[in-house]
Each structure stands twice: as C-alpha cells, then as structure tokens.
Amino acid sequence: MSINYGSKRLVVGAHYGLRDWLSQRITAILIALFALVLMAQVCFTKGPIDYAAWRAIFDAQWMRLFAFVTAVAVLWHAWVGVRDIWMDYVPAAGLRLFMDVLTIVWLVGCAGWVFQILWRL
C-alpha cells in the first residue's frame, strides 16, 4: 500500500535561483556605479556639454572599457529578466525557445553596436 503525502511537483525550467538573483544584483550595482561615475564626469566638465566634451569623457581607455563592461552587464541583466519572463508566461516550449533565440540575437546585436559606438568615438 502506497501513501501519497501530496501532489507530485512538476519541475519545469532551469531554476537558476540564487545565481540569477545574485547576477541581477551585481549587474545592477555595476550599472549604478557607472551612472555615478558618468554623472561625476559630466558635472566636473567645464563649459557646455557638446560633442567634443562628450568625446573627451570617453577618450580615456578605462572609461571606454568601463562603459563596455557596463553595457555587457546591462545586456546580461536584460537577458536574465527577459528569459525569466519567457519561462513564466510562455507555456509552449517551442515558442519559448524561439523567443529565447530572438532575445539572444537581439542582445548580441546590441553588444556589437555598443562596441562599435565606443571604439568609433
């Protein structure tokens, strides 16, 4: 005789849990830090903020690298959030996979665009 102590739980998705929660917090901190550094750069720039002043802010290689790392953090942050939305609200596995692939293609394209902008300045 078998005793059933509750319904069997259906496990779906990857359940990244703590890793995703932590990556969201770390990338958010990095994004906020970049925003503060950029605001400080703008506040301490003498004269009007025109293209030349904006370009001067990003002339330093460390600032370009920091901006690119922050852009990657934004893309990772977006990936985790959007993937969780697809996992929660798109029940069909095929459609969810299609949406995941579209999201990845879009984010990789955005990363290439950021790289092109930062090193073309």
> For the residues 13-34, what does the mean pLDDT come to?
87
- Above pLDDT 90, what percent of the chain? 67
Flag whether 15 is marked binding: no
Q: What is the pLDDT of residues 105-118, one digit of tens each?
A: 999 999 999 889 88
pLDDT of residue 65: 92
- Measured in residues, the chain has a length of 121
Of 71, 88, 69, the C-alpha closest to 20 is 88
CATH number of 16-118: 1.20.1300.10
The domain segmentation of the chain, as residue ranges, is 16-118
- Above pLDDT 70, what percent of the chain? 86
Flag whether 51 is marked binding: no
Distance CA 80, CA 115 (A): 21
- Of 2-6, 24-28, 85-89, 110-114, least confident by mean pLDDT is 2-6
